[in-house]
Amino acid sequence: MKRILDWNKYLEKAAQTVSEGIVMLKNEGGALPLDVNETVSVFGRIQLHYYKSGTGSGGMVNVTKVTGILDGLLEAGVKINEELLEIYRKWDEENPYELGEGWGAEPWSQKEMPLDDDVVKKAASVSSKAVVIIGRTAGEEQDARAEEGSYLLTSVELDMLKKVRAHFDKVIVLLNVGGLIDLNDIESTSPDALLFVWQGGMTGGTGTADVLTGKTSPSGKLPDTIAKNVSDYPSDPYFGNKTRNCYTEDIFVGYRWFESFAKDNVLYPFGFGLSYTTFSIETSSVSGNDILTFSVKVTNTGSRKGKEVVQLYVEKPQGALGQPARVLCGFAKTKELLPDEAQDLSIVVKMSDIASYDDSGAAGEPYCWILEEGKYNFCLGSDVRSASPVFTKELPEKIVVQRCSQALAPVEDFERIKAVCSGDKLSYIKEQAPLSKVDEAKRLAEGMPAEIPYTGDKGIKLIDVRNGKNTMNEFIAQLSDHDLSCIIRGEGMGSPRVTAGTASAFGGVSDTLNEFGVPAACCSDGPSGMRLDCGTKAFSLPNGTLIASTFNRELVEELFEFMGTEMVANKVDCLLGPGMNIHRHPLNGRNFEYFSEDPYLTGHMAAAELRGLHKVGVTGTVKHFCANNQEKNRHSLDSAASERALREIYLKGYEIAVREGNADSIMTTYGAVNGLWTAGNYDLNTIVLRNEWGFKGFTMTDWWANVNYRGEEPERSFYVPMARAQNDVYMVCSDSSCVDESIMTALENGKLTRAELQRNAANILGFLLGTNALKRMEGEEDTVEIINRPDGDEISDKPVVFYDLNKKLSIDLSGVRSVKGQNYSFALTVEPAGWYKVTVTASSTQSPLAQIPITLFSMGTPSGTLTWNGTDGKPVSYTTEIPMFSRFTAMRIYFAQNGLDLHSIEFELTRTTDSMDAAFVTEED
């Protein structure tokens, strides 16, 4: 099948997503929209360095062009104060942007230009409106901090706001951030307009300009509660603990806490967001019994076109379990309505979906999803605070929705919060979280699958199973112990078996498996677009928080159909995303990848992304399963949470993604949940995911993850408990086809069975049956023609050249010449891993004062910048030292200027270290 990917339509859909995800918190005195005929002064150095995404695996997308906010305004025809802009450009050249050093070490903000009062006065003399841009990045390996330059403004940023406020009639503040930042200092300067524009990917500036100029009315809604202070979030006393993070707030995350117990601590409630117009929301009717249908009429009552989000909340009876004041249970977004235009919407709620989990037996039904007797009040509106009651359903008696078994419960004591009601007043107490009563060894033994007798090679290929000629069991019966040991180990990063520069190959990772017709499928980092470390350009998408702020399932599905088509063109089968963890605390470094503090919104956004990908035969790997809510010490951190909190908050989004989005690939986390690392957690990967939810796909670990048995120290590359837990693939290994002694020994001594490995293989192979990877192997692959893509951004069919680096290597680069904005890429097979001295030799005929820098990227991470002046045509060498700890290492030389002729690049080992320990620090998914 041939597909067409129109790059212009892709750009338009992404820009539309940005404009619909921008959340306007304030707009007073007609500050917005801007009049394109008036001159606007733009302040803040980030106008020259738009944050398209956070950093790490969730943001490392190579792009040809990023349209920042300043670019978008200029392209929209807005008159910019050029004199002020030149001041910023000159200062920016003299104060270079700081990249940081190594993986996860990027600064969260850049030094801001100090403002002279006279500069601001002069700017105000030529323009009455000022746009001030504040920027923050985010990323892996580090959390934000309640410090200046991170969660808080710097003194220079605050001084900038104060001076601009003092001289301008209208001040518009834009927050180009991955997640929440403190608003107290910003609010103290009384801006006329305040907007979270988030991180919008490569078209972020276009979508932002559409909102600022009024082409599009803002319609984004907050996916998180904005509290007055970071200490107001109920998880704050526990967040950041290096060893054991107790989820004492239990189910009371975000608005569930604030609307129940701390309304006065809220600056802006969950679901809040302004528009350039106004709307009325009226409930026409409510019908149904077990399934309720709310018919809603939305009318644009203002003078400008716009969209509105209708949000439905349920107030449950407090009962024996205790409940939050309100819980989101439905939402819908209108089309763009003209003034006086109306639209009828339907929101459907299954009563079973609003059930609560009894993890203690307090309601008389331990380990069950139940609806307690009493009144269920449904409230409709445009945010959690303003929603008003529209319907009440009373249950005369308790209903058991689903009987489960205790799973994932704590094994050590800690306290949790429980809501209690005294008259009309809701308050809380603390109680001990119920502990596990499960005999895990017995549970594992009872779940042991039956072994498929070994037959040896019968000539059955995997395609025969897909075509119905043979059964999956008949195919698996052919696989030897060694074959089974290979298939549970993914190969990467940058495996030459799949698309260059991607995160892994899995499935057909040995020649024997290939001979059986098992393809090597390809994973590429997401969720903000494909990370292709070899330098191939890809599309950079808006971040997860922005996507959630759209509250628009249909739009997100359309965007990810484009994303999926681009994946097909690049022979990528799994995008490692969407990220689905809960915004438990605003300082979590990876919140930008994730959606929301609310699991219902999280699950439905993820399901929409998956539906879009599935339309073109690719998929997303939902991650990180589960409770990855802190970056600090994430490999060793134990998240202590009650079974109820896990099921209602931290697992619920994944359940929705499985049931509503047909998720077929899941990634576990680095850390532990209640003492057991998720990569080897049978309750998580088998009892809940497969037995209760009916998941039919395959699961993978995070890259170089720890695995353990209960009570034992975690280890990396510990395949046996992983396989037994039915976490199917270990990501990643440098050579997945070699004999692994730990697996073979476990098979010999009975600590692992062939039956368990066969079960893993069935999950992996069952997934591969429906992939483009199998089609490619069989010559049936879909093709994609990309039209309207910018020159220099095309996908190359030329394979990336691999060189063998064994302690020392010299590569001839004669004929390679620097072209500004372009890359030269190649790959290395590294043995041994370690630190290497890298020497680049080049020449230039430009003047002695010319500055011609190149940046070396190793596995997508900037590893050093070397700068030449004119050399009178003579070769000059510069040296840096970089870590190279992945066996397959993609290298990229980025050229910032023209005019440099490369001669050679040389590598020489300086010191070795344990490759996996180093990879643990420098390269992670």
Contact between 187 and 512 under an 8 Å Cβ cutoff? The reply is: no
Helix (H) or strand (E) holding 208: helix 204-212
- Nearest-CA neighbor of 410 among 670, 673, 711, 625? 673
DSSP secondary structure letters along 795-841: PP-SPPPEEEEBSEEEEE-TT-B--TT-EEEEEEEESS-EEEEEEEE
Q: How far is CA 162 from the centre of its chain?
A: 35
Within 10 A of 342 (CB to CB), how many other CB atoms are there? 15
Distance (Å, whole) CA 904 – CA 893: 12
Q: Which amino acid is at 25?
A: L
Strand partners, 861: 858
DSSP secondary structure letters along 732-798: EES-TTS--HHHHHHHHHTSS-HHHHHHHHHHHHHHHTTSHHHHHHTT---EEEEESPPTT-PPP-S
| Catalytic entry in 210, 353, 702, 925 | 702
- Nearest-CA neighbor of 208 among 20, 63, 59? 20
- Nearest-CA neighbor of 818 among 847, 853, 849? 853
Angle, CA 62 vertex, CA 57 and CA 63 arms, to 5°? 135
Within 10 A of 786 (CB to CB), how many other CB atoms are there? 17
Answer left, alpha or beta for residue 550, where phi above 0 means left and psi between -120 and 50 means alpha.
Answer: alpha
Burial code of 244-274, b = ≥16 C-beta within 10 A, e = fewer?
bbbbbbbbbbbbbbbbbbbeeebbbbbbbbb
Burial code of 37-60, b = ≥16 C-beta within 10 A, e = fewer?
eebbbbbbbbbbbbbbbbbbbbbb
Contact between 806 and 831 under an 8 Å Cβ cutoff? The reply is: yes
Burial class (CB in 10 A: 0-12, 13-18, 19+), 778: middle
Contact between 884 and 828 under an 8 Å Cβ cutoff? The reply is: yes
Distance (Å, whole) CA 614 – CA 92: 44
| Ordered alpha helix ranges (H), 55-130 | 69-75, 82-94, 117-126
- Computed on alpha carbons and rounded to an integer, the radius of gyration of the chain in Å comes to 28
- Provide the token pair at 128: 């009455």
- Provide the token pair at 344: 């009828």
Within 10 A of 751 (CB to CB), how many other CB atoms are there? 14
Q: How far is CA 298 from the centre of its chain?
A: 32
Distance (Å, whole) CA 243 – CA 491: 30
Contact between 75 and 28 under an 8 Å Cβ cutoff? The reply is: no
47 φ, ψ to 5°?
Answer: -60, -25
Contact between 924 and 861 under an 8 Å Cβ cutoff? The reply is: no
Contact between 230 and 182 under an 8 Å Cβ cutoff? The reply is: yes
Within 10 A of 776 (CB to CB), how many other CB atoms are there? 17
- Nearest-CA neighbor of 495 among 800, 195, 151, 262? 800
Strand partners, 787: 6
Answer yes or no: 702 catalytic.
yes
Which residue numbers are catalytic?
A: 702
